[in-house]
Structure 1
Amino acid sequence: MNMSRTRRERLVVIGGDAAGMSAASQARRLKGPDELEIVAFERGHFTSYSACGIPYWVGGDVTDRDRLIARTPEEHRARDIDVRLRTEVTELDLDGRRVRSRDLDSGAESWTPYDKLVIATGARPIRPDLPGADAPGVHGVQTLDDGQALLDTLAGTRGRRAVVVGAGYIGVEMAEALLNRGYEVTVVNRGSEPMSTLDPDMGCLVHEAMTGLGITMVNDAEVTKILTGDDGRVRAVATQDREFPADVVVLGIGVRPETALARAAGLPLGTHGGLLTDRSMRVRGREDVWAGGDCVEVLDLVSGQERHIALGTHANKHGQVIGTNVGGGYATFPGVVGTAVSKVCDLEIARTGLREKDARRVGLRFVAVTIESTSRAGYYPNASPMTVKMLAELRTGRLLGVQIVGREGAGKRVDIAAVALTAGMTAEQMTTLDLGYAPPFSPVWDPVLVAARKAAAKVRGSLTP
């Protein structure tokens, strides 16, 4: 009688937020602790939290930091996941199937062997290589630890002048957060308009709204240095020709994939610096390594090219796919259409698919239309204006992208276009969509469908001899 037992496999996860812990949790659902040991390394103090919620915590809309935490380390440990906080993985030995880690409090280092490895190292805020960029009072915002550090600075700062460098999603959300905290806010942006994820004509609407809220917008301006006072703390942000006084500076320039470990180990990286995976989220060329979240590049289903998009929605889906595959099942992540939504005070900003310059870059010919509509029937109380821009491919009419800027009820309308893009619909086909209607919710013709009608007509007109 054979009394031997099958050796228990070990899964090592690097990164304790959305992708990493979703992968660990899903793998645990499929395999118990007698089959699979799970060790997760996290260099911060928290696991499974909403980084997207940090601006709203800083701004006071979310009053308790713990409300951003979906599952604590203790809850993961109760499910037999060995979470090791304040522990940074410093080296990957892919041939030896082990990782080196360092305890950030004690400095002790050790090697941990693995059978399967998940890399979920996330992204890091872009910190410009400028004099003064590391001065006290200058903050990037990516983790809960970053958010707490910023709140500590705000609590200990007597002045009320804030400068946000960058006007992407992070920049405009942090501008709102600081405005809500009672700060005089200046946003310094090197682009011609805020929100470079929109076309400039739509970004202009965001500019007007932010100015109307009392935020000072400075476009076409490159920061050259961050000035400090005698105490070493930040005192101003300088461009080529101006200085903007600042008691606190927030860097909202964006993020890059955190792939230094992967690069050093020789794993394949894309043009944006993110890890390259197959549809199962397995790192290309490695049978025992998976990656997901903000450290990977994903397939854009509209352009057919790889992109880097740092969003919690993707990270959680990646984790589910990885955990299913690690746990013995089968799942894939087909790609994205680039949907994102944000707000600054009561202005809602949304986009999906390609911008004009994206379409040109991949060689697509297109028509572009812009329409003005309202969130409800025009006669219904509190109907608010909304601008919708739509791109459709010339000749075929295939939907390529949609951007929406408006007040209440505008942002989530982008989901209609996201579904249409994923399904490969044309603008003409969109006009027949059976969307819900009642005067409190939309006009008889929903604004997205009005844009689709106009785009379809323009495509038809382009075919006329």
Structure 2
Amino acid sequence: MAERLVVIGGDAAGMSAASQARRRRTADDLSIVAFEKGRFTSYSACGIPYWVGGLVDERDELIARRPEVFRADYAIDVRTRHEVVDIDLDRREVVAVALDEGRREVREPFDQLVYAIGALPVQPHWAKEGVSGVFGVQTLDDGDALHAWLLRDPKPRHAVVVGGGYIGVEMAEAMVNRGLTATLVERGPQPMSTVDPDMGALVTDKLRTLGIDVRTGLAVTGLDHRDGVVTAVRTDDGTIPADIVVLGLGIRPNTALARDAGLPLGPTGGIRVDLRMRVIGAPGVWAVGDCVESVHRVTGQPVHIPLGTHANKQGRVAGINIGGGYATFPGVIGTAVTRVCDLEVARTGLLSVEADAAGYAFVTATVESTNRAGYFPGADFMTIKLLAERGTGRLLGAQIVGRSEAAKRIDPLAVALWNGMTVEDMVGLDLGYAPPYAPVWDPVLIAARKAVEALGVL
């Protein structure tokens, strides 16, 4: 009899695990059932703001593989619109309900289980009052509902985005691109707390040049509505008109089901797994994606950094191991990029506040340089900031804000950080040079040189 694998969650992490396991084991040897609460599988949630804003024409362009492809080409029994509501580890079965069939109960036995439910948008109490026109942006179903709301009659004119992280700033720009007025409300001193305040200030300036009303140091306290449809957002400094409200307050691991089943959670709230993505103390159970916590390679501490890159890699690792191979997930360093109109934002490693909290003594070095030789057409400025540990000179983190070709310069910095290089090592890196691509001293090298000077090495 074939061994049975059940996957809970049909997006990047879950379907990567299922696909990798299938590549190594036939349907006669391993039967695979995947439950997905929504209507879609294997899609780019990161692309939702670009579809909503009109840069991507069709929703389906975000879908990598449809359920029917997994069924026909991979022999994976994908069951969309099925929500798993219980995991019984003793009986080795999951309980799901068919959402489009009157919540008909389905019980599915398993030998191996992959938990890949992802994360949930942070929802304050006022967002749970059942007022229409309030949206999180975590799944493609969420994006579909938001997109449909923008097309309703009468069309919304005023958008309020609550929270200024990656999703918040991307959705604020998307609203402007759709012709709405946009107000971005951030409780902290500025949007983009994913970079240091001096770097985030550059992003705030750009948002305002787009016509986005950025209001910082402001807390949302509730909603006004008429006939159950949002009309305004209440704050501790008055009300803001709103025909649509988008939540950009971050996300948290979706682990209620895991907790109820007795699976171990770590200090970040994510599921605890080993290097092979096996859940600690739960034989035959794996967890991957935004619901797990990882190890930060700089600090060695547990972190929850939900990104599609990690989800795909973790799913691949679990699938290889389930399929009889051997693979490990080596941890994360928090590399991430985004774009606000023509302004690119990137980071890797630790922010100043994170390095301080971890106990590091460090220096910072900030430089302004150009993406190309200064005389070459299209040359534009970028700002690079590095953090280096005192004593060792080891790179601890990097941030970049700039225009054309700025963000991807985070990649050599991420490689240096991943491999424990010092900023003195980095000064000698043999990076590519030609006037259309870089000045003779690449901005990365200039920043490394300034960090060396800050350390007092030269």
One fold, TM greater than 0.5? yes
- Deviation of 1:133 (Å): 5.1
- Please point out which of 95, 98, 111 is paired with 2:90: 95
- The answer for the alignment partner of 1:4 in structure 2 is none
Please report how far the alpha carbon of residue 132 of structure 1 lies from its aligned counterpart in structure 2 after TM superposition: 6.7
Give the match for residue 3 of structure 1.
none
Distance 1:318 1:132, change over 3 A: closer
Deviation at 1:444, TM superposition (A): 0.8
Matched, 1:51 2:42: no
| Structure 1 CA distance for aligned equivalents of residues 119 and 354 of structure 2 | 23
- 1:136-147 paired onto structure 2 within 5 Å: 136-147=132-143
Aligned to 2:162: 165
**Structure 2 residue aligned with 1:23:** 17
Q: Deviations over 1:391-429 (max 9, x none)?
A: 000010000000000011111100111100100000000
| Secondary structure, aligned partner of 1:274 | coil
1:370 and 1:384 map into 2 onto residues whose CA distance is 17
Root mean square deviation, CA, Å: 1.1
User: Do residues 202 (structure 1) and 199 (structure 2) align?
Assistant: yes
Within 5 A, what are the aligned runs for 1:384-395?
A: 384-395=380-391
Identity %: 61
Matched, 1:174 2:174: no
User: Within 5 A, what are the aligned runs for 1:218-297?
Assistant: 218-229=215-226, 231-297=227-293
What secondary structure is seen at the aligned counterpart in 2 of 1:217?
Answer: strand
Aligned to 1:348: 344
Gaps of 5+ in 1: 1-6
Letter in 1 for 2:171: M
Q: Could you tell me whether the CA contact under 8 Å between 1:13 and 1:40 is conserved in 2? A: yes
Q: Give the distance between the partners of 1:241 and 1:111, measured in 2 at CA.
A: 51
Q: Helix, strand or coil: the match of 2:125? A: coil
Aligned match for 2:419, one of 420, 423, 431: 423
Count of paired positions: 455
Q: CA deviation at 1:134?
A: 3.4
Q: TM-score, normalised by structure 2?
A: 0.98
8 Å contact from structure 1 (residues 132, 228) kept in 2: no
Distance (whole Å) between structure 2 residues aligned to residue 24 and residue 204 of structure 1: 43
Q: Which residue identity lines up with residue 174 of structure 1 in the other structure?
A: M
Whether the aligned pair in 1 keeps the contact of 2:150 and 2:156 (CA below 8 Å) is no
Contact map agreement 1:187 1:217 (CA 8 A) in 2: yes
Partners of 2:158 and 2:350 in 1: CA distance: 36
Residues 1:131 and 1:75: Cα distance change in structure 2 (over 3 Å): closer
Residue 118 (structure 1) aligns with: 114
2:180 to 176, 179, 183: 183
Query: Is the CA contact (8 Å cut-off) linking 1:226 and 1:234 kept in structure 2?
Result: yes
User: Is 1:341–1:350's contact at 8 Å kept on the other side of the alignment?
Assistant: yes
Shift in Å, 1:110: 2.2
CA distance in 1, matches of 2:221, 2:129: 10
User: In structure 1, how many angstroms separate the alpha carbons of the residues matched to 2:6 and 2:84?
Assistant: 11
1:131 Cα offset (Å) = 6.5
Match of 1:38 among 21, 24, 32: 32
Q: State the secondary structure of the residue aligned to 1:60.
A: coil
After superposition, the C-alpha distances for 1:94-120 in whole angstroms (9 at most, x for unaligned) are: 111111111011111021110000000
CA contact (8 A) 1:132 1:225 kept: no
SS at match of 2:324: coil
Determine the structure 2 residue equivalent to 1:60. Answer: 54
Hey, what's the Cα distance between the residues in 1 that align with 2:423 and 2:276? 32
Does the residue aligned with 1:364 lie in a helix, a strand or coil?
coil
Letter paired with 2:11: D
